[in-house]
């Protein structure tokens, strides 16, 4: 029987609501503002690595989740998913390699595979640079069975490009190995991702793990005394009660006249910011299908932000197969770059999400494990009290860390 790979994903996002009163004389060219903030590169080019269409991958993955569960909350970390599968691609060859990178948005006729790996290495460096104002930790680990011997080149490349930690595991004792990996992920995500893996097959020989932890304070914190109960409209006829925080501040925003949606950028201390996209009533699908911007200006905002914790789960294999990444999940997978043999494949991918938003800021975490086994005019008021899309960006590296959609903030 051909070995298999089990992939487990844990991903998160952020959301908020805002009322904005525009200030005259503060208008800026939208391209200049977004280029300065990093949002321009993320939304239009989205290139964390040379030749990559990172935003295309992010939005493609988002749309597959949305099509599967159109009326559910969505949370995921595109950088966690893409880093984990780029690391897997170190051991992939031929069609398997091409499908992974093409599905992730790379044009392999214009960029060399080594350049892609170099790009991810640079991104790891950028995101892990010490910053007293924001905490972002992105890392990788390789758990190998004591009797499994990966190729030296594979190990060297994983270390050189992805700075992975190497740990020995006893996969012949699945509960022990599972606990080792779960403890590792829980520690790296500061306790936010718990019970990461479910069961492990005793044929497991290697587990690739990626994790990301994010913690940042709002540039303008919310006063707890102003947190009040308010209505959030899941749809026109369905209001629900949620706890909302309130704060006044100056934020960048724009209105897309073609898609009829408002966008507000809310900064954290440091290099991160949250981007909130509020479609006009009945326009969510149009925005989800295109996700573009038109105009940007500064506004003075009275911001109402949800105080909430949300989780979710998905079957990642099904989503990837619809994105054209299929061979790695089949018996025809070529992962011979890992051990020199054609006896590895990915058979399952699952996803779990977590989000925490509070008066001081946001905390989010994600982890990815690949388990290898043998066998018109801007409105005066913007109010985020109905379903909307959100993103968390790191401006310094122009990287989208998390993306999500809030349909019902009370769903956990």
- Radius of gyration, alpha carbons of the chain: 21
Domain pair 19-37+218-307+378-406 / 42-215+310-371, same fold:
no
Q: How far is CA 263 from the centre of its chain?
A: 19
> How far, in Å, CA of 412 to CA of 410, rounded?
6
> How far, in Å, CA of 20 to CA of 379, rounded?
8
- For residue 16, the model assigns a pLDDT of 25
Cα first-last separation, the chain? 39
> How far, in Å, CA of 232 to CA of 241, rounded?
6
Look at residue 289 and tell me whether its pLDDT is greater than 50.
Answer: yes
Q: Report the topology of domain 42-215+310-371.
A: Antithrombin; Chain I, domain 2 (3.30.497)
> How far, in Å, CA of 313 to CA of 75, rounded?
9
Structure token digits, residue 364: 């989010």
Q: How far is CA 75 from the centre of its chain?
A: 7
Mode of pairing for the β-strands spanning 261-267 and 204-217? unpaired
162 against 204, higher pLDDT: 162
> How many C-beta atoms surround the C-beta of residue 341 within 10 A?
11
Q: Residue ranges of the domains in the chain? A: 19-37+218-307+378-406, 42-215+310-371
> How many C-beta atoms surround the C-beta of residue 373 within 10 A?
24
- For residue 28, the model assigns a pLDDT of 37
Q: What angle do CA 308, 312, 318 make, to 5 degrees?
A: 155
Give residue-wise pLDDT tens across range 342-398. 888 776 666 665 767 667 777 777 777 776 666 533 444 566 778 878 888 888 888
- For residue 156, the model assigns a pLDDT of 96
Look at residue 38 and tell me whether its pLDDT is greater than 80.
Answer: no
- For residue 371, the model assigns a pLDDT of 67
> Is the Cα torsion angle 62, 68, 74, 79 positive or negative in sign?
negative
Structure token digits, residue 294: 């038109």
With bands split at pLDDT 50, 70 and 90, how would you rate the model's confidence at 111?
Answer: confident
- For residue 164, the model assigns a pLDDT of 96
- For residue 337, the model assigns a pLDDT of 94
Give residue-wise pLDDT tens across range 44-59. 333 443 334 677 888 8
Class of domain 19-37+218-307+378-406: mainly beta
Mean pLDDT value across the chain = 76
- For residue 2, the model assigns a pLDDT of 37
Look at residue 98 and tell me whether its pLDDT is greater than 90.
Answer: yes
26 against 82, higher pLDDT: 82
With bands split at pLDDT 50, 70 and 90, how would you rate the model's confidence at 36?
Answer: very low
Give residue-wise pLDDT tens across range 236-288. 788 888 877 777 767 777 787 877 888 888 888 888 888 888 888 888 888 88
Helices first, then strands: H and E counts in the chain: 11, 16
If you count them, how many residues does the chain have? 412
**Residue that has been written with the tokens 């097959």 in this structure:** 201
* Interval 95-123 mean pLDDT: 91
- For residue 53, the model assigns a pLDDT of 66
- For residue 236, the model assigns a pLDDT of 78
Backbone angles phi, psi at 216, to 5 degrees: -150, 150
272 against 295, higher pLDDT: 272
> How far, in Å, CA of 124 to CA of 210, rounded?
11
3-state class of 258 per DSSP? Answer: coil
């Amino acid at each position: 029987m051909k070995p298999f790979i089990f992939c487990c994903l844990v991903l998160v996002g952020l959301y908020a609501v805002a009322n904005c009163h525009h200030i005259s004389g503060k208008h800026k060219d939208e391209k200049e503002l977004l280029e300065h903030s990093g949002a321009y590169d993320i939304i239009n080019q989205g290139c964390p690595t040379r030749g990559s269409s990172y935003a295309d991958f992010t939005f493609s993955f988002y749309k597959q989740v949305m099509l599967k569960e159109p009326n559910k909350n969505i949370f995921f970390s595109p950088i966690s998913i893409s880093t984990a599968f780029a690391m897997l691609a170190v051991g992939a060859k031929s069609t398997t390699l091409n499908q992974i990178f093409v599905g992730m948005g790379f044009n392999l006729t214009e960029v060399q595979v080594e350049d892609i790996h170099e790009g991810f290495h640079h991104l790891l460096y950028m995101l892990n640079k010490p910053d007293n104002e924001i905490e972002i930790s992105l890392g990788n680990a390789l758990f190998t069975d004591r009797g499994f011997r990966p190729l030296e080149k594979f190990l060297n490349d994983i270390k050189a490009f992805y700075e992975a930690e190497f740990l020995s595991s006893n996969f012949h004792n699945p509960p022990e190995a599972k606990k080792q990996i779960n403890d590792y992920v829980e520690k790296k995500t500061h306790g936010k991702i718990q019970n990461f893996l479910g069961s492990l097959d005793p044929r497991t020989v290697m587990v690739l793990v990626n994790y990301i932890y994010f913690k940042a304070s709002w540039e303008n914190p919310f006063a707890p005394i102003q947190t009040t109960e308010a209505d959030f409209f899941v749809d026109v006829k369905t209001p629900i009660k949620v706890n909302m925080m309130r704060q006044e501040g100056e934020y960048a925003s724009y209105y897309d006249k073609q898609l009829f949606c408002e966008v507000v950028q809310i900064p954290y201390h440091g290099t991160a910011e949250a981007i909130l996209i509020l479609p006009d009533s009945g326009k969510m699908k149009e925005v989800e299908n295109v996700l573009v911007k038109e105009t940007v200006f500064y506004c003075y905002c009275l911001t109402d932000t949800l105080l909430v914790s949300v989780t979710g789960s998905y079957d990642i294999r099904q989503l990837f197969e619809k994105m054209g990444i299929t061979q790695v999940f089949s018996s025809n997978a070529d992962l011979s770059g890992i051990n020199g043999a054609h006896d590895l494949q990915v058979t399952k991918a699952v996803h779990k999400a977590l989000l925490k938003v509070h008066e001081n800021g946001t905390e989010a975490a994600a982890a990815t494990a690949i388990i290898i086994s043998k066998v018109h005019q801007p409105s005066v008021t913007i109010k985020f009290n109905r379903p909307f899309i959100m993103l968390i960006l790191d401006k310094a590296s122009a990287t989208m860390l998390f993306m999500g959609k809030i349909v019902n903030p009370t769903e956990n």
